[in-house]
Amino acid sequence: KQEVTQIPAALSVPEGENLVLNCSFTDSAIYNLQWFRQDPGKGLTSLLLIQSSQREQTSGRLNASLDKSSGRSTLYIAASQPGDSATYLCAAHNTNAGKSTFGDGTTLTVKP
């Protein structure tokens, strides 16, 4: 059974700092891994998806990496801004559709 863990549960940083969010999974036979952002009272917005054959994906100030052998993915946020404050969740997809396993998320606060 796939288990996904995100540590820490909460993180507070000053504006401008670079930061890394962590996601660990127990079953390395994943199809892809997806990072989401959730603002309070809102749905989950897809940020990046890394396919199992890839090692990283980049979008603007965001860079996500995937290391299947160690069961880890990281989300790197460069030059953080107060607008980045949100909860970030990762999800391991074990097939190209069907069930996914979500972590509990990391709540990020970027202080001006």
Contacts with another protein, residue ranges (CB under 8 A): 31-32, 34, 36, 41-46, 49, 51, 89, 91, 93, 95-100, 102, 104-105
Contact between 24 and 38 (Cβ < 8 Å): no
**What is the closest distance, in whole angstroms, from the C-beta atom of residue 79 to another protein in the complex?**
26
CA distance 2 to 43: 23
Which of the 8 DSSP states describes residue 42? S
Q: Which is nearer to another protein, 80 or 108 (CB)?
A: 108
- Can you read off the two tokens belonging to residue 30? 């994943």
Q: Which is nearer to another protein, 14 or 43 (CB)?
A: 43
**What is the closest distance, in whole angstroms, from the C-beta atom of residue 49 to another protein in the complex?**
5
Helix (H) or strand (E) holding 58: strand 56-59
C-alpha R_g of the chain = 13
Q: Which is nearer to another protein, 32 or 80 (CB)?
A: 32
CA distance 4 to 6: 7
**What is the closest distance, in whole angstroms, from the C-beta atom of residue 108 to another protein in the complex?**
17
Q: Which is nearer to another protein, 6 or 80 (CB)?
A: 6
**What is the closest distance, in whole angstroms, from the C-beta atom of residue 99 to another protein in the complex?**
7
